[in-house]
Amino acid sequence: MGEGFGNGVGRRVRRVSRRRFLYGAGAALGGLALSSCSGAPLGGSGRIVHFWNLFGGGDGARLTDMQSNFVDSNPGIELESTTLTWGAPYYTKLSMSTVGGRPPEVAVMHQTRLGAYAPAGLLEALDPDMLAEYDIGPDKFLPEVLESAKFEGEIFTVPLDTHPQVMFYNTDIAKKAGLLDPNGELKPIEGPDAVIEAFKKAKEVTKEQGVSFAPADAAVPWRIFYTLYGQLGGEVLSPDAKEVILDQEKAETAVEYMVELTVGEELTSANQDYPAAVAQFQSGNAGFHWNGEWEVTTFEDAGMPFSIVPFPNIFGNRVQADRHTFVIPKGVAKDRRRMDAALTFVSSMMKNSFIWAQGGHIPAYRPILESQRYKDLTPQSNYAGVADNVVLDPNAWFSGSGSDMETQAAIPLQQAMAGGIKPKEAVDTMRASMQELVDTPSPL
């Protein structure tokens, strides 16, 4: 897991400097004090890029390789990269440093956090012509991807990837279950009944689970719900995020389907957490696995027989996703040298994003996305076509990956999937928690 998807805890702080690249160390440091994580004071003129990110595990290793390429190609710019615990602590620290006038030159941000940071004036707006000078102009991104980078018509982020929910499947189990075509590929599975029928066939082979996912996780219930609800065409908030517009009937339909997979047909365990869900698939106790594509390296490293397809069309073709992006905190643009160094770094990272794609994320940079070497990268490219048809969390200060909206919604969804409450009560509870968030002033 790259950034702690799943439980989102226990990440250590890492700081990597250019000198460490030069001398081959590049190791993580623990226990870094908050003060030493600060970026350069605004107005500083050094050619150095302080870069904050939230990537550990395999993503962290790939990021290090991309940073090394930047350092090798740009001897005139120092790089100081710091890895922080992802989630609320990361975003709190980023906002505090910006308000305090000591932000990093570049930071990673989930696209779905834009609704909090852009209206608060914490990010630099990025001029399209300026971006083009660094080969990261608007034409280098799919229109839908570029549109998500905007707030009120201005570009604030440079998207690195799209990371959707996907469906992993064990090819050996699928073959025994009669779910593969003559070419060894998964036969098309569409519609609510067909998906459950396929999971039943897989369970007949495994004698354990048809599909594994993590109902007991703090984030996964929302991702599955928002996928199904999004397939039904549901919206959560009004465009200005001032009104909850959760559609009762569509929301209940989505929750009912989640309940059917757990206590209904008993195709997965309602009490299963994130590590257990991954382990069940990895050990061959589940024929299918619903998760983010970032687990591809976990299963590759395990040497198990598997492939990946887009999340199934149950009620429609859309799927929940988020995007990792690069942002430049407010204040950096006051110093042209700092801004130049920052954009030079971002440009280098985008041009090296084939390395990133190997971890499962769909590259946002079209020269990589449309390259033959990415198309040849399987199973990672099997689901690349969903990049421009995903549902992102609405723009609001309380939404996005690891946000209050996701974690609060997970509780009634977990209760429903465990059979403790009816789908209607789960939806009513979600609506109430969303309304409370809407009524709460933004802290930024």
Tell me which of 11-25, 125-139, 330-344, 377-391 is least confident.
11-25
At 349 the pLDDT is 98
Question: For all residues of the chain together, what is the average pLDDT?
Answer: 90
Residue 10 has pLDDT above 70, yes or no: no
Residue 85 has pLDDT above 90, yes or no: no
Average pLDDT over residues 3-24: 39
pLDDT digits (tens, 9 = 90+) for 400-413: 888 899 999 999 99
Q: Comparing 31 with 200, which gets the higher pLDDT?
A: 200
At 46 the pLDDT is 55
Tell me which of 6-15, 207-216, 418-427 is least confident.
6-15
Residue 117 has pLDDT above 60, yes or no: yes
Residue 3 has pLDDT above 90, yes or no: no
Average pLDDT over residues 271-288: 97
Average pLDDT over residues 84-90: 84
State the Cα–Cα distance between residues 344 and 133, nearest whole angstrom.
Answer: 10
Kindly indicate the confidence band of residue 39, based on its pLDDT and cuts at 50, 70 and 90. Answer: low
At 402 the pLDDT is 84
How many CB atoms neighbour CB 43 within 10 A?
10
Kindly indicate the confidence band of residue 6, based on its pLDDT and cuts at 50, 70 and 90. Answer: very low
How many CB atoms neighbour CB 46 within 10 A?
13
Kindly indicate the confidence band of residue 98, based on its pLDDT and cuts at 50, 70 and 90. Answer: very high
Residue 251 has pLDDT above 50, yes or no: yes
Residue 13 has pLDDT above 90, yes or no: no
Residue 82 has pLDDT above 50, yes or no: yes
pLDDT digits (tens, 9 = 90+) for 327-336: 999 999 999 9
Share above pLDDT 90 across residues of the chain, in percent, rounded to a whole number:
84
Whole-model pTM? 0.89
Residue 158 has pLDDT above 50, yes or no: yes
At 347 the pLDDT is 98
Judge if the upstream peptide bond of residue 379 is cis by omega within 30 degrees of 0. yes
pLDDT digits (tens, 9 = 90+) for 175-196: 999 999 999 999 999 999 999 9
Kindly indicate the confidence band of residue 87, based on its pLDDT and cuts at 50, 70 and 90. Answer: confident
Q: Comparing 19 with 315, which gets the higher pLDDT?
A: 315
Kindly indicate the confidence band of residue 26, based on its pLDDT and cuts at 50, 70 and 90. Answer: very low
CB 85 within 8 A of CB 33: no
State the Cα–Cα distance between residues 183 and 278, nearest whole angstrom.
Answer: 27
What sign results for the dihedral spanned by CA atoms 236, 241, 244, 245?
Answer: negative
At 12 the pLDDT is 39
C-alpha of 109 from chain center: 10
Q: Comparing 292 with 442, which gets the higher pLDDT?
A: 292
Kindly indicate the confidence band of residue 11, based on its pLDDT and cuts at 50, 70 and 90. Answer: very low
At 30 the pLDDT is 34
Kindly indicate the confidence band of residue 18, based on its pLDDT and cuts at 50, 70 and 90. Answer: very low
